[in-house]
């Protein structure tokens, strides 16, 4: 099975503007930003999508969200607000079959989204 785009970024096979990394997750700027700040937070473990996460992924999922909040704070988004988005499946807007969180901020975000 071939690696996903995000696995290649984590393996440094594809360059990315990485702003945070630990043993479990990687955060980097999206190459097609949908807001002034658009960062992807990706688990290094290749979980295809949230719907396919297993009970054993419980701690990883919590870590993913906590690190998204920490990255938002580092970027100063905690002062004005931000949005976290997880797409699941084609109709949900998923374009890479590897679980990831979109961190969007830097402007007022409308509701409902797209």
Q: Give the whole-angstrom CA distance, residue 9 versus residue 13.
A: 6
Q: By three-state DSSP, how is residue 28 classified?
A: strand
Q: Is 72 exposed, middle or buried (0-12, 13-18, 19+ CB in 10 A)?
A: buried
63: its two tokens: 């870590």
Q: Of 58, 63, 98, 100, which is the active-site residue?
A: 100
102 is catalytic: no
- Return the residue matching tokens 């919590």: 62
**CB-CB contact of 102 with 68 (8 Å):** no
| Catalytic positions, written as ranges | 100
């Amino acid at each position: 099975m071939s690696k996903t785009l995000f696995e290649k970024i984590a393996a440094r096979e594809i360059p990315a503007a990485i702003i945070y990394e630990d043993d479990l997750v990687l955060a980097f700027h999206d190459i097609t930003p949908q807001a002034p700040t658009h960062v992807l937070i990706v688990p290094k473990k290749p979980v295809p999508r949230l719907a396919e996460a297993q009970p054993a992924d419980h701690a990883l999922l919590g870590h993913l969200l906590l690190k998204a909040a920490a990255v938002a704070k580092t970027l100063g988004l905690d002062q004005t607000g931000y949005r976290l988005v997880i797409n699941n499946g084609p109709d949900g807007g998923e374009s890479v079959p590897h679980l990831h969180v979109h961190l969007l901020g830097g402007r007022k975000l409308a509701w409902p989204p797209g």
